[in-house]
Structure 1
Amino acid sequence: MSCRGFLCLGLSSTPLFYCSHWGVQATVSWLLSEVFGSQSVSIVAEEDVQALCKSDSAGLLSAVVDAVNECLDEAPNFGLQKPDKHLTTQEVLEAIKRCNSTGGPEGRHWVLDPVDGTLGFVRGNQYAVALALIEDGEIIIGVLGCPNYPMKREWLNYHHHYYQSTSPATNDSWEKGCVMYAKRGSGKAWMQPLLRGNVNFESQYEARLIQVSSVDDPALATFCEPVEKANSNQSFAAGLARSVGLRKQPLRVYSMVKYAAIARGDAEVFMKFARCGYKEKIWDHAAGVVIVQEAGGVVTDAGGKPLDFSRGIYLEGLDRGIIVCCGSTLHEKIVGAVYASWDSSNL
């Protein structure tokens, strides 16, 4: 099964709005079940089916079912098998219900964030569809579909509505949207253009390797942070950035696209320190972590320990926050700065 086609299918442009959350979960769940068998698929995902089953949600449910079937109709364009006939409402609900696993330290679990960065999605900015495979508590595979993240770095600082209208129309000079993926232990991470519309699957560009930046001087490093302040302490992160010599303006990015930026060398540092009471979920990090690591980067908690994906839907035991760096030099400086300046009253 093609990772690229798998993610692109859930991001087809026509039914995109209704494919968000429930639609993507249903599509991914159905595809995984077709390949591996429904009894063998355990999916940890963000949304449950309860809201769709309410009496006043009939219109929404109908729209989701239509969107899922429209997506699956395009499956052959992405090297995948489509259903023999359209899925019924009950079949769509059953597909979403299969996304009820809580993960854990044993067995194989798929971890799915159907639309990571909802505000970015609504505002036409950065968001991602993220899928990871965890076996016995360890991330094995990660895939990130980033529909608004440009293939070419020089377009990164322009809002995509602007550069879509002003950039040349040729494929050689412009590709909006990409898919990144990696397998644990391969030492390689890959990126391909996001397929759109009615295309010849076999004729698309080949994947290319991506690698983290070689920058190790804090003064030259670009620092990623979340756009929204609700669940992160940006003031502490900003103070920490100054203390280690990060001088550039922060690159504020919605969603797991921050991991994508580190993995392909568009930025060097991502730090997140959650506010008191907020618990990080595994679906917000799993796919991005393995992609950054296989691209040559370092991901730990703020104490320098690996993130633990074996304890259910939350990153339990997380030490203060998450630090993602392009290499060990910057990582060691930031971890050291955390120990030197940490004050729990900041969070």
Structure 2
Amino acid sequence: MGDEKYYNELDVAVRVVHLACSLCRKVQDGLVSTNTDQVKSKDDDSLVTVADWSVQATVSWILSEIFGSQNVSIIAEEDVRTLSNAESAGLLDVVVSTVNECLAEAPKFGLKKPDRTLGSSQVLEAIKRCNSNGGPVGRHWVLDPVDGTLGFVRGDQYAVALAMIEDGQVVVGVLGCPNYPMRKEWLNYHHQHYRTMSKESLSPPLSWEEGCVMYTRKGSGEAWMQPLITGDGKLEWPNVAERIQVSSIDDPALATFCEPAERANSNHSFTAGLAHSVGLRNQPLRVYSMVKYAAIARGDAEIFMKFARAGYKEKIWDHAAGVLIIQEAGGVVTDAGGRPLDFSKGLYLEGLDRGIVACCGHSLHDKIIGAIFASWDSSNL
């Protein structure tokens, strides 16, 4: 890999995301299917689960232990208010036991576990520590504990995303995709059959259960993918990794594009019209979460477009890890005006021109950006 810069940070980030994915799987298998109390509704109608808080606490605790809590600045999605309420005591208990159960497995991933069980105040403290606002100076970790909560709750696609930003630039990106199989062929099987069958009839787990973790460092010109290590000891750390690269397709007629499965904060009709005008013929791949970035990074799809509805601001934790992984895998990500995304302005992608366009290559990207300019004024946005 040549330059060893950020190697240690990336190594820790990959391990901690594997650990977080293991936690998410346990929660998804157990809590969400049996107990609706474990899912709270946030003010913005997106769902928050035990997994969100548990992952945030776990990642925060480990990063603070390794790099020193004084030195670690973490930007993350969840705040601690809901969990601190008296009526959330039962929920907090579940989070605390989930975190402790997860941290007990840390040595399997080459990480240190706590000397003694963490109490609720320590778990709340770890979550609360993720209160940074980022900005143009210094080093900030950016975490989305469970990206695509709706996908998570439905047993579909979701991601654990961890990135590191230094002086406004994303320099480390790790994306854990617990339900995104190592091979694209398994994905089709998953989507056709998984929803029509109950979990019980699917035991032992079939091959689509193999999730993956993708990761990269800025400037390495390489992005990698590992099969998910599960706590059941089926796969041991250290894990094998394979290099991933974007697709070489540059003809829109052959390209597949990803779009958000959620309609709430994106404009599907403009995207559909644009796809038609560029000549995209394939069925779009509609997936929850940053798994869309993963799909492009490893060549399962060629284009991802997201045009936010008026008033919606893109948050950096929804994009940082995925953007870097696509770029280092050979792809291009800009706003709809063709400009690089700016991660130096705090919690939001400020100054974003209309939306985000990610492509497997420059040629395809130029065609999409051209089509956006041509069709924007005539659309009803």
**Which TM-score band (shorter chain)?**
over 0.9
Please say which of residues 257-266 and 4-13 is displaced more in the overlay.
Answer: 4-13
The one-character-per-residue Cα deviations of 1:153-197 (angstroms, maximum 9, x if unpaired) are 1112233693699999799x6662000001000000000001112
Summarize the alignment of residues 26-37 of structure 1 with structure 2, pairs less than 5 Å apart: 26-37=57-68
* Structure 1 residue 327 corresponds to structure 2 residue 361: yes
Aligned to 2:39: none
Query: 2:291 and 2:70 mapped to 1: Cα distance?
Result: 32
1:2 Cα offset (Å): 4.2
Query: 1:290 and 1:319 mapped to 2: Cα distance?
Result: 19
Q: Which one of 21, 26, 30 corresponds to residue 14 of structure 1? A: 26
SS in 1 for 2:314: coil
1:77 Cα offset (Å): 1.2
Aligned to 2:37: none
* Structure 1 residue 318 corresponds to structure 2 residue 349: no
Does the Cα contact within 8 Å between 1:143 and 1:181 map onto a contact in 2?
yes
Summarize the alignment of residues 226-305 of structure 1 with structure 2, pairs less than 5 Å apart: 226-305=260-339
Query: 1:267 and 1:42 mapped to 2: Cα distance?
Result: 34
* Structure 1 residue 132 corresponds to structure 2 residue 144: no
- Letter of the 1:346 counterpart: N
Aligned to 1:65: 96
Does the Cα contact within 8 Å between 1:168 and 1:174 map onto a contact in 2?
no
Q: Which one of 72, 80, 92 corresponds to residue 41 of structure 1? A: 72
Query: 1:128 and 1:218 mapped to 2: Cα distance?
Result: 27
Compared CA separation, residues 23 and 241, structure 1 to 2 (3 A): same
Does the Cα contact within 8 Å between 2:110 and 2:237 map onto a contact in 1?
no
1:27 Cα offset (Å): 0.2
Aligned to 2:122: 91
SS in 1 for 2:327: helix
Aligned to 2:134: 103
Does the Cα contact within 8 Å between 2:326 and 2:333 map onto a contact in 1?
yes
- TM-score using structure 2 length: 0.86
Query: 2:162 and 2:302 mapped to 1: Cα distance?
Result: 23
Unpaired segments ≥5 residues, structure 2: 1-10, 32-48
Compared CA separation, residues 165 and 66, structure 1 to 2 (3 A): closer
Compared CA separation, residues 197 and 175, structure 1 to 2 (3 A): same
* Structure 1 residue 116 corresponds to structure 2 residue 147: yes
Query: 1:325 and 1:158 mapped to 2: Cα distance?
Result: 25
- Letter of the 2:227 counterpart: P
Unpaired segments ≥5 residues, structure 1: none
Aligned to 1:177: 211
- Letter of the 2:307 counterpart: F
- Letter of the 1:308 counterpart: D
- Letter of the 1:198 counterpart: D
Does the Cα contact within 8 Å between 1:4 and 1:192 map onto a contact in 2?
no
RMSD: 2.1
Aligned to 2:15: 5
Q: How many residues end up aligned between the 2 structures?
A: 346
Compared CA separation, residues 19 and 78, structure 1 to 2 (3 A): farther
Aligned-residue sequence identity (percent) comes to 71
Query: 2:192 and 2:238 mapped to 1: Cα distance?
Result: 24
1:198 Cα offset (Å): 3.1
Query: 2:321 and 2:21 mapped to 1: Cα distance?
Result: 17
Does the Cα contact within 8 Å between 2:247 and 2:360 map onto a contact in 1?
yes
Does the Cα contact within 8 Å between 1:4 and 1:194 map onto a contact in 2?
no
- TM-score using structure 1 length: 0.95
Q: Which one of 252, 274, 287 corresponds to residue 218 of structure 1? A: 252
